[in-house]
Amino acid sequence: MRLTTKGRYAVTAMLDLALHEGQGPISLADISERQGISLSYLEQLFAKLRRNSLVKSVRGPGGGYQLNHEKQSISVAQVVDAVNESVEATGCGRQGDCQNGETCLTHHLWCDLSNQIHSFLNGISLADLVVRKDVKDVADRQDRRHSGQVFLTATDSLLADEASV
Amino acid sequence: MRLTTKGRYAVTAMLDLALHEGQGPISLADISERQGISLSYLEQLFAKLRRNSLVKSVRGPGGGYQLNHEKQSISVAQVVDAVNESVEATGCGRQGDCQNGETCLTHHLWCDLSNQIHSFLNGISLADLVVRKDVKDVADRQDRRHSGQVFLTATDSLLADEASV
DNA sequence: TTAATAACCTACTTAAATACTCGGACTAAT
DNA sequence: ATTAGTCCGAGTATTTAAGTAGGTTATTAA
């Protein structure tokens, strides 16, 4: 089992899409700036998200990504899964052949844990997150900081970043 | 967040101690054989378990390890923690400074997940595991296989292992 | 038509962690 | 004295994350 920035980035980026739904395609550059995630790394993550048909893309100027389904039908678990971060806690993939082809002493414990985590993450959709107060607060802050600064140069925005630290 | 064989081995080994409680110190060689875990690796894990005072050791012939507390007061969470496998799902250690010193969009989600996992693993003690049917079944199988074979040579037990695969 | 924009793709790199092995030192029972 | 055990440090192979770099292709707007 493993949950690192990879899966967290994926969920954060998808949530960013959900928050800006109805504004047309959102570019990865925008997400990169708002969420502080490397653009190239985002590209790799979105390649997987697209292959799992969680997002659809529009190429060319004004292009970007959009959710491929309604936000209430995309769960956090799906997103984490899409970038190959399994929340499976067993080492045998639930096969029960953990120890020389036989079941290890703690196999069922990890199965139970896996069920817990999976049902938790399955029960939370992007729509659920969008309406949460803590999410709204952060989103508002990000929108304030990154709107109207479209005409700043790269240097200016770097300075602004340093000033805010 | 991460849960690999490291944490699983630690819990398995501790459960082995709990199952053989009252039989005096249990050597790592015994655990290694029963649970199919490398002896040297077990040594490293038990160094951490000892530093966290979850086990006590007896050196010399007939020595080994024993639980340092009653099995109902040792939780799975404690064991996993002891070997440095944090089940913490946030990247910031709950600090909320995930994104340039500010809170990232999904911070609270991962906090919630951490709470879920932690309370689940905290609620399960070694005593709880010992009485479970699935654990008993596996333990019985292991005891049958590894008792009375004390006088086999290393080569014999290797052959036995291969035969069982 | 051309330039800019943004997705798309492949390959590489760095750093860290896992899951070991190996060799030896210390300790205590027989 | 030997042996069975813990204890300890170092080293290694493999994998993965996380990010760089450099390009190609599709689309829009000038």
Phi, psi of B65 (to 5 degrees): -120, 150
Of A3, A12, A142, Cβ closest to residue B89: A3
pLDDT of residue A155: 39
In whole angstroms, what is the distance from residue A41 CA to residue A128 CA? Answer: 26
pLDDT digits (tens, 9 = 90+) for B130-163: 999 999 999 999 999 988 554 444 444 444 443 3
Beta-carbon count within 10 A of A39 CB: 12
Of A4, A120, A135, Cβ closest to residue B105: A135
Q: What is the residue-wise DSSP string for A9-43?
A: HHHHHHHHHHHTTTS--B-HHHHHHHHT--HHHHH
Distance from residue A27's CA to nucleotide D20's C1', rounded to whole Å: 20
pLDDT digits (tens, 9 = 90+) for A97-107: 999 999 999 99
Are residues B2 and A5, on separate chains, in Cβ contact within 8 Å? no
In whole angstroms, what is the distance from residue B93 CA to residue B115 CA? Answer: 12
Are residues A106 and B15, on separate chains, in Cβ contact within 8 Å? yes
Rg of chain B, C-alpha, whole Å = 19
Which parts of chain B have pLDDT scores under 50?
Answer: 150-165
Q: Where are the beta strands (DSSP E) in chain A?
A: 55-58, 64-67
Closest CA to B11 of B51, B93, B88, B67: B67
Closest CA to B107 of A146, A27, A139: A139
Residues with CB under 7 A from strand D: A 2, 4-6, 9, 37-38, 40-41, 43-44, 59-63, 84-85; B 27-29, 40, 43-44, 46-47, 50, 57-65
Of B76, B105, B134, Cβ closest to residue A108: B134
In whole angstroms, what is the distance from residue A148 CA to residue A157 CA? Answer: 12
Are residues A138 and B35, on separate chains, in Cβ contact within 8 Å? no
**Strand C reaches within 7 A of the A58 CB:** yes
pLDDT digits (tens, 9 = 90+) for A62-98: 999 999 999 999 999 999 999 988 899 999 999 999 9
In whole angstroms, what is the distance from residue B122 CA to residue B89 CA? Answer: 16
Convert B77-87 to b/e letters by CB count within 10 Å (16 or more is b).
bbbbbbbebeb
B103 has a chain A CB within 8 A of its CB: yes
Q: Are A15 and B105 in contact (CB under 8 A)?
A: yes
- Section A13-30 average pLDDT: 98
Percentage of residues of chain A with pLDDT beyond 90:
84
Q: Which two tokens stand for residue B112?
A: 């919630």
In whole angstroms, what is the distance from residue B50 CA to residue A51 CA? Answer: 47
A141 has a chain B CB within 8 A of its CB: yes
> Measured over all CA atoms, what is the biggest interatomic distance in chain A, rounded to whole angstroms?
63
In whole angstroms, what is the distance from residue A56 CA to residue A157 CA? Answer: 29
Distances (CA, A) of A5 to A83, B2, B47, B99, B102: 11, 12, 30, 11, 16
Angle between helices A107-122 and B133-146 (to 10 degrees): 150
Nucleotide nearest to A27 (CA to C1'): C6
Contacts of B152 (CB under 8 A, 6+ apart): B160
Rg of chain A, C-alpha, whole Å = 19
CA–CA min distance A65, chain B (Å) = 18
Predicted TM-score (pTM) of the model is: 0.90
Q: Are B11 and B81 in contact (CB under 8 A)?
A: no
**Nearest protein residue, CA measured to C1' of C10:** A44
pLDDT band at A108 (very low <50, low <70, confident <90, very high): very high
In whole angstroms, what is the distance from residue B138 CA to residue A101 CA? Answer: 13
pLDDT band at A4 (very low <50, low <70, confident <90, very high): very high
